[in-house]
Structure 1
Amino acid sequence: MQLKGCSLEFRDKYNLSVHMVRHTGEKSFQCQSAGCTKTYATKAALDVHQNTHSDNRRFKCNECDAAFIRKTQLTVHVSDKHTGQKPFRCNWPGCEYQACYLNRLQSHKLRHTGEKPYKCSQCEWTFRLSHHLKTHMLKHTGERPHECPHTACDKRFQSKQAMRTHFKRTHSK
């Protein structure tokens, strides 16, 4: 099974439907923890995320205060933050990019192909990364989810970066 305009193939409808979310950006599973606004494309991804709100992080980093639910998460963290090991290498001719996460390598490879699999449902814009589509969608909804942390300021922003820039320029003098 295959989507029109996509090079990937799937064995069944379930895996195809999970993959379709990459193109639509739809994330209908929302975390219900207080103060958390994270949303996910699948129930499985939401379940993994919800563990971050629990206290059973038994895999602790020896280098910093980070702690994880799974040993594999700790291994990737140590590799990324402390040892600098990047086991995933780009096989594009002439490219020396390396990543500590497989999904970062997969996103990087889209730079070579020019593929932008995330399409806005409201306009013709397409994006290489799903979080770029998510940020773009805020332009259509008008939503401003990022609140300035300064107690005397009630400004809100569409992106964390815009909020940080505002905070530095306005409140860090």
Structure 2
Amino acid sequence: QKLFSCHVCSNSFSTKGSLKVHMRLHTGAKPFKCPHCDLRFRTSGRRKTHIQWERPFQCTLCEKAFNQKSALQVHMKKHTGERPYKCEYCAMGFTQKSNMKLH
């Protein structure tokens, strides 16, 4: 049973939340901003999909691209050879602190 009607186009929805999301089509509202780029989305689900699949952070030295700036920064250490995290027992170097801790 569809209880919530759009006053603009007369579409009906079974929940108030569905009507609220639908109304964004008419108003143009896109309240969900990607934290990595300037794109905005009508629903949090579309933003989540964008973040998961879009890869706006491209390595300038190879073809790899990433969905987070921090992942690109870690990747760049492979090109530079930088290993800033050193094991205090054997001095082995790592590109990420988490890998050093696992070691």
Give the TM-score, by structure 1 length: 0.32
- In the aligned structure 1, how far is the partner of 2:48 from the partner of 2:92? 33
After superposition, residues 4-153 of structure 1 pair within 5 angstroms as 91-92=44-45, 109-111=50-52, 114-148=53-87, 150=88, 152-153=89-90
Runs of 4+ in 1 over 3 A off after TM superposition: 106-109
> How far did 1:145 drift?
0.7
User: 2:101 is paired with a residue of what secondary structure?
Assistant: helix
> How far did 1:92 drift?
1.9
Runs of at least 5 residues in structure 2 that lack an aligned partner in the other structure: 1-35, 38-42
- In the aligned structure 2, how far is the partner of 1:107 from the partner of 1:158? 28
1:88-141 CA-partner distances (Å, limit 9, x unpaired)? xx6227xxxxxxxxxxxx677411xx2101000000000000110001001101
Provide the identity percentage.
35
1:14-64 CA-partner distances (Å, limit 9, x unpaired)? xxxxxxxx78xxxxxxxxxxxxxxxxxxxxxxxxxxxxxxxxxxxxxxxxx
- In the aligned structure 2, how far is the partner of 1:165 from the partner of 1:108? 31
Give the TM-score, by structure 2 length: 0.52
User: 1:161 is paired with a residue of what secondary structure?
Assistant: helix
Q: CA RMSD in A?
A: 2.5
State the number of aligned residues: 63
User: 2:44 is paired with a residue of what secondary structure?
Assistant: coil
- In the aligned structure 1, how far is the partner of 2:65 from the partner of 2:84? 22
* Aligned CA distance change for structure 1 residues 108 and 159 (closer, same or farther; 3 Å): farther
Runs of at least 5 residues in structure 1 that lack an aligned partner in the other structure: 1-21, 24-89, 94-105, 167-173
Of structures 1 and 2, the larger Rg is shown by 2
The answer to whether structure 1 residue 156 and structure 2 residue 93 are counterparts is yes
